[in-house]
Amino acid sequence: MSRIGVFVCHCGHNIAGTVDVKAVVEQLQRNGDVVFAIDYKYMCSDPGQQLIRESIEKYQLDGVVVAACSPAMHESTFRRTVSAAGLNGFRCESANIREQVSWVHQQDKEAATQKAIEIAESIVEKVKSNETLEPLILPLTHRTLVIGGGIAGMQAALDIAEAGYPVILVERQDHLGGRMAELSGSYLNFQAAPDLLEKKIQQVLNHPNIQTLLNAEVDGLSGYVGNFRVTVEQKPSATDGAVVALDELEPLRFTFDVGAIVVASGWQPYDRARLTEYGGADIPDVVDGLTFEKMLRSGEVIRRPSDGKIAREVVFVQCAGSRDPEHGVSYCSKVCCMYVAKQAMLYKERVPNGQAYVFYIDIRSAGKNYDEYVQRAMTDYGVLYLRGKVSRVFREGDQTIVWGSDTLTGRAVEIAADLVVLATPMLPSHGSTELGQLLHISTDGYGFFNEAHPKLRPVETLTAGIYLAGVAQGPKDIPEAVSQASGAAAKVLQLFSKNEMTASPLVASVIEEYCAACGACVKVCPYGARQIHPIWNYATVNAALCQGCGACVVACPNKASQVRNWRVEQVMGMVDVLL
Amino acid sequence: MAIPYFPGCTLSTKASGYDRSGRAVAQALGLEFQELPDWQCCGATFPLSTDNAMTLIAPTRLLRQAQEAGGQMTTLCAICFHVLRRTQNFLQEHTDVLERINWFTEEPYLGQVRVTHFLELLRDQLTWETLRANVSQPLKGLRVAPYYGCLLLRPPAEIQLDDPDDPHILHECLEALGCEVITFPYQSECCGSYLAVSKPTVPQQLAQDILASAQHHGAQALVTACPLCQYNLDYPQQSVRGWAIKPLPVLYFTQLMAVALGLPEQVWGMEGHSVDPRPLFEPYRATVA
């Protein structure tokens, strides 16, 4: 006979308002395996937990059933309570009489009470044969792979490296800095982006904990959180072979064991050639925002690309290809309102007697000091903001004509411009969907990586140990990308704060003598946790990958696959009690 | 090759020159038009209320006539083309609506007819090379501006004829005829369409802008594939008082084709125009053998 204690929670009126908790206690007291049963107002409160702890000692309990809320809510709470009293946590189970009983059967109190009794009885039956288990201990490699050497990737790498852990930083291009290296300056304070960036790059390159691989791409991934194995291919660089032509050199291959991965693969601009109505394909004096950054970087006066004449009338077109499912993407690219204001002001500094126009749908300058910055463009720099869309851009002689509407005056506007700057949206960098497939993390319809939760888990992916930083996850500006990178680094450090990982022991196991090595479990396992042992010829379980879902138990014709504490005979025993 | 052909109402009346020149050039190119039997109006606008199948019965009946005639149909009128192609697309996606419409028609429409505009036929089946090879009177030095309007190209996802922001199909046709082709910014702006009936000053103003821009870019004539565009751009030039623009002929592409292919003047169909285009073609008249 077992010595099980049953603790029935009122949850205020949540349960006791519908279920006759005294009747549940009385009925359970009659169970031969139950030596003690009691009800209490809030079992999860400190006095409630104390009641459980004291009862374990007083009645020498060897198992605990808490008839209360869903195990998703407080299973871990009560297992901790039980452990504190010296009983193995896995000898404690929750019987859900709130979500599955009182909340859904408020109209029929008698039936609800009967159902609560049956559920509690069935959980008593389960606890009787629950094994005493310890958490699984898994090794943890304290090394991180960062994919992408832009500002987000570098920030994440530096934060992790500063905490004392080695980082492998893989960058596809032959230099660090990413898209930020193409910018003339950053908004808010005009501080030159190249200077800001150069400092970061030097910090990364000189950091003893960061190994940077340029011209390199990740091309293979196996393993799981704490124990990933990645392969990286690096194109030979010019310094590797001065005599031999580069394309004759074999690429270098590396394999690294890492515990965590930060994906910061960045972005690319929308191809302006696809905006035919704006002359993006064939008018030489129509450029996109990133091209205009290059023109600003030179530090010289702004000239027309077509003939080198000074550009005296410049039109900026916001939302060129964004918020426009007909011609481009549906989303707002978020950074354009701000960088257009910056570009217009920098233009006015280079060509003081020139005129800058900005066509906008609305100004999205949400951020600390952001709106003030846009207003400076209007008031201090005389940039003319026109609220409306541009309908057409075409060539007339050596000028570029812009047709648009000004919805504040209600008039159609025609501007003969020297230069038109299309504020095209950010797209995920090319190959991001393929990278997502390689890493088993999902992307949205555009190729941006999906976060685990849009509000509460914005830097994690649904694959444990893989984190996101920067525009790879969605359009954002430099301060946001840096914040997210530091957030991702904090998540990595949280993982690395332990020497090894613990995992739930409630995973599948195999009774080897029953196993026919048919492979049914390998096929159904959604986590890739199963394989047939190559020598012993029976199915094995990778306990780190197994999530205890039980698909293999159902698939296994011999019932050799079992999930711990959900063994077939346990479940059948519970069913017997219910019937 | 015989092609089932739907002329539509306008081409039987006001735009008969379009019809006559179209049939003649098709024949000259070995693409004989075979007029659909017992046809009626296409409906003239594609209905945008999706729950009213009644308004789709007229175009659906035409599609069924084409089904009898071999599963293909071509039009010259840009509006008929627009209505029929969109009806076809719609019915292909909404088989339930098709089923309801079939309750009202004599014979069921099975939903498989391919609707083409004659320009599309020239580009994709005949090819511009073949057209060029058939030109006997190249219209060298004639500066013409293609005017696409709206309905021939839009909505692009459904019509799928050409890029409405950067169209080429009329350009390519006219280049094959030897013309000097002029691109002007109003080439795919709206002509005012049916406002010609309810609010004629709107298309008149639009016409002045369109014609002025084409003239400014050096065009001697405007070329269109739409009878309503032709009417809105041509007719006010003669009838509106205080018209500020120099006369500019507005032609159908088939009329230029008829000249370039060396066809006799009777099939050019240029008599009814408000601005007589015939003087333009004096240099290109085929010498009678």
Per-residue pLDDT tens digits of chain A, which is 579 residues long: 899 999 999 999 999 999 999 999 999 999 999 999 999 999 999 999 999 999 999 999 999 999 999 999 999 999 999 999 999 999 999 999 999 999 999 999 999 999 999 999 999 999 999 999 999 998 999 999 999 999 999 999 999 999 999 999 999 999 999 999 999 888 777 666 778 899 999 999 999 999 999 999 999 998 889 999 999 999 987 655 455 565 667 899 999 999 999 999 999 999 999 999 999 999 999 999 999 999 998 889 999 999 999 999 999 999 999 999 988 999 999 999 999 999 999 999 999 999 999 999 999 999 999 999 999 999 999 999 999 999 999 998 899 999 999 999 999 999 999 999 999 999 999 999 999 999 999 999 999 999 999 999 999 999 999 999 999 999 999 999 999 999 999 999 999 999 998 888 999 999 999 999 999 999 999 888 999 999 999 999 998 888 899 999 999 999 999 999 999 999 999 999 998
* The pLDDT value given to residue A316: 98
For chains A and B, what is the number of CB pairs under 8 angstroms?
13
Long-range contacts, stretch A53-61, CB < 8 angstroms, 24+ apart: A53/A81, A53/A82, A53/A84, A53/A85, A55/A5, A55/A7, A56/A5, A56/A82, A56/A85, A56/A86, A56/A87, A57/A85, A57/A86, A59/A3, A59/A5, A59/A35, A60/A3, A60/A35, A61/A3, A61/A4, A61/A5, A61/A35, A61/A36, A61/A87
Does the distance separating the beta carbons of A281 and B165 come in below 8 Å? Answer: no
Helices and strands counted in chain A (H then E): 15, 28
Q: Where in chain B is the domain with CATH 3.40.50.11810?
A: 137-284
- What number does CATH give the domain B137-284? 3.40.50.11810
Report pLDDT for A246. Answer: 59
CA distance B184 to A394: 9
pLDDT over 90 (residue B3): yes
Q: Return the SS3 of A513.
A: helix
CA A103, A106, A111, A116 dihedral sign is positive
CATH number 1.20.1050.140 is the correct assignment for the domain at B2-118: yes
DSSP character string of A246-314: GGGSPPEEEEEEESEEEE---EEE--GGG-GGGTTTT-TTEEEHHHHHHHHHT-S--B-TTT--B--EE
Check residue A187 and give its pLDDT.
79
Tell me whether residues B166 and A394 touch, CB distance under 8 A.
Answer: no
The matching CATH number, chosen from 3.30.70.20, 3.30.420.10, 3.40.50.970, 3.30.1330.20, for A503-563 is 3.30.70.20
Q: Which comes out higher in pLDDT, residue B183 or A240?
A: B183
Q: Which chain A residues are Cβ-neighbours of B148 within 8 angstroms?
A: none
What's this model's pTM, rounded to 2 decimal places?
0.77
A89's tokens:
């946590």
The verdict on domain A271-424 having CATH code 3.30.420.40 is no
Burial class (CB in 10 A: 0-12, 13-18, 19+), B50: exposed
Domain boundaries, chain A: 4-128, 144-268+427-496, 271-424, 503-563
Strand (E) or helix (H) holding A392: strand A390-396
Q: Does B282 touch chain A (CB under 8 A)?
A: no
Contacts of residue B264, Cβ cutoff 8 Å, sequence gap at least 6: B286
pLDDT score for B289: 42
CATH 1.20.1050.140 residue ranges for chain B: 2-118
d(CA B41, CA B62): 9
Give the whole-angstrom CA distance, residue A178 versus residue A148. 8
Q: What is the pLDDT of residue A240?
A: 52
CA-based nearest residue to A64, from A42, A85, A47, A41: A85
| The token pair that represents A242 in the structure block | 């001065």
Share in percent of chain B as helix, strand, coil (round to 5): 45, 10, 45
Residue B218 sits at the chain A interface (C-beta within 8 Å): no
Least confident of A63-77, A176-190, B51-65, B263-277: A176-190
Nearest Cα of chain B lies from the Cα of A394 at a distance, in angstroms, of 6
Chain B: residue nearest A394 by CA?
Answer: B185
Is there a shared CATH topology between the A144-268+427-496 domain and the A503-563 domain?
no
Cα–Cα distance, A5 to A240 (Å, whole number)? 72
The pLDDT of residue A239: 58
Instruction: Provide CB contacts within 8 A for A108, sequence distance 6+.
Output: none
B166 vs chain A: nearest CA distance in angstroms?
Answer: 6
CATH of domain A144-268+427-496: 3.50.50.60
Q: How many CB atoms lie within 10 A of CB A440?
A: 13
Please tell me the CATH superfamily of domain A4-128, with its number.
Lumazine/riboflavin synthase (3.40.50.960)
